Amino acid sequence: MNVLELKDVSKKFGEYTAVNKFSLSVKKGELRCLLGPNGAGKTTCMDLITGRQKITSGQVFFKGHDITRAHEHTIVRRGIGRKFQIPAVFQELSVLQNFEVARGRGKDPVANMWSFGRPKSDARFEEIVELTGLKNRLNFTAGLLSHGETQWLEIGMVLMQEPDLLLMDEPTAGMTERETEKTSEIFNRLKGDHALIVVEHDMSFVRQIADVITVMHMGSLLAEGTITEIEENHRVREVYLGTEEGH
């Protein structure tokens, strides 16, 4: 069963075409890595899925429902969570308080602050705290966390919304090798229960997590397949893997 389908999706900004008749299908529980050079259309594609940008043409379906014209907050409530490259955590609040803010799915964050400091015993919360490795950091001010811990906190905050699909934009950027390893462990535990789309440039990380890889180039689909198929694809090597353009 496909949890997400993009059908001939295009996005134009004036005369510039950022995404050009791009199609994508992601199965339930699958981890899909989205690769491509700078300007390939990856982030714009994520924006179109979440309603952050409006589609010029084409359709987006989530769990069988057409969400092409849905508002961003409606899409969040339907079960799509997104983590941006720069963590959006509340630096002056504790880790626990950040989780509390995220608990209210798609609601006003301020409305969720009433329970700050209250011990949590529900299984879902405990599972997320264990997964992110932040059990001993709950009373820490978020601004004092390491870079990796801050990224894991935001992943946990997205998970508090109980999404069926998670969109992750360069989750390992700036991480140490050990932090990257832990992040791959987190993602490998998430897939199966959640579908994930990960925009990433670190190929060693991609090898550790990807079920399927989609490569974009100039807004269009260039190639799709397993890590082996992608690495052996001459066109992909020419456009992406053989360059030093980053992502």
Domains plus CATH for the chain?
1-79+165-247 (3.40.50.300), 88-162 (no CATH)
| pLDDT attached to residue 246 | 40
Q: What is the pLDDT of residues 72-89, one digit of tens each?
A: 999 999 999 999 877 789
Write phi, then psi, for 112 (nearest 5 degrees): -100, 5
* Torsion sign, CA atoms 96, 98, 104, 109: positive
| pLDDT attached to residue 238 | 85
Q: What is the pLDDT of residues 120-163, one digit of tens each?
A: 448 889 999 999 999 999 999 999 999 999 999 999 999 998 99
